[in-house]
């Protein structure tokens, strides 16, 4: 296990100090995250027309609420030439 970065204290870490986070990858999550709720339903109606013919019509639905996404806060952008550059979010 690597030792903590020089100058990284609990207070510095809570303040997101670069001394603690240099070279780290941050995964951020909304603190008000709610579990995803997935609802699925279907309805089918079938009718017989005559002795040898039937008709069916159906509907299938799906609804998802509270989708979440964990993103890498300081992820670099891969350039077409294979190099990387800082991402769109502020660097720590």
3-state secondary structure of 43: strand
Please tell me the total count of domains within the chain.
1
- Cβ contact 67:75 at 8 Å: no
5 within some domain: no
User: Is residue 36 one of the residues assigned to a domain?
Assistant: yes
- Find all residues with CB under 8 Å of 36, minimum gap 6, and list them: 64, 65, 66, 67, 68
Instruction: Give me the pLDDT at residue 73, please.
Output: 66
Asked if the structure places residue 56 within a domain, the reply is yes
In this prediction, residue 1 carries a pLDDT of 42
Q: What is the pLDDT of residue 87?
A: 74
Range of the domain at 58: 10-85
Has this prediction a pTM greater than 0.85? no
Summarize pLDDT for 23-60 with one digit per residue, the tens: 777 666 777 878 889 999 999 999 999 999 999 999 99
Report whether 46 contacts 56 (CB < 8 A): yes
């Amino acid at each position: 296990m690597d030792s903590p970065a020089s100058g990284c204290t609990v207070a510095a870490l809570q303040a997101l100090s670069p001394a603690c986070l240099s070279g780290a990858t941050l995964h951020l999550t909304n603190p008000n995250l709610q579990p995803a709720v997935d609802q699925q339903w279907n309805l089918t109606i079938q009718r017989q027309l005559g002795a040898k013919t039937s008709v069916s019509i159906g509907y299938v639905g799906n609804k998802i609420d509270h989708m979440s996404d964990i993103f890498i806060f300081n992820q670099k952008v891969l350039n077409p030439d294979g190099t990387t550059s800082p991402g769109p979010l502020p660097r720590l």
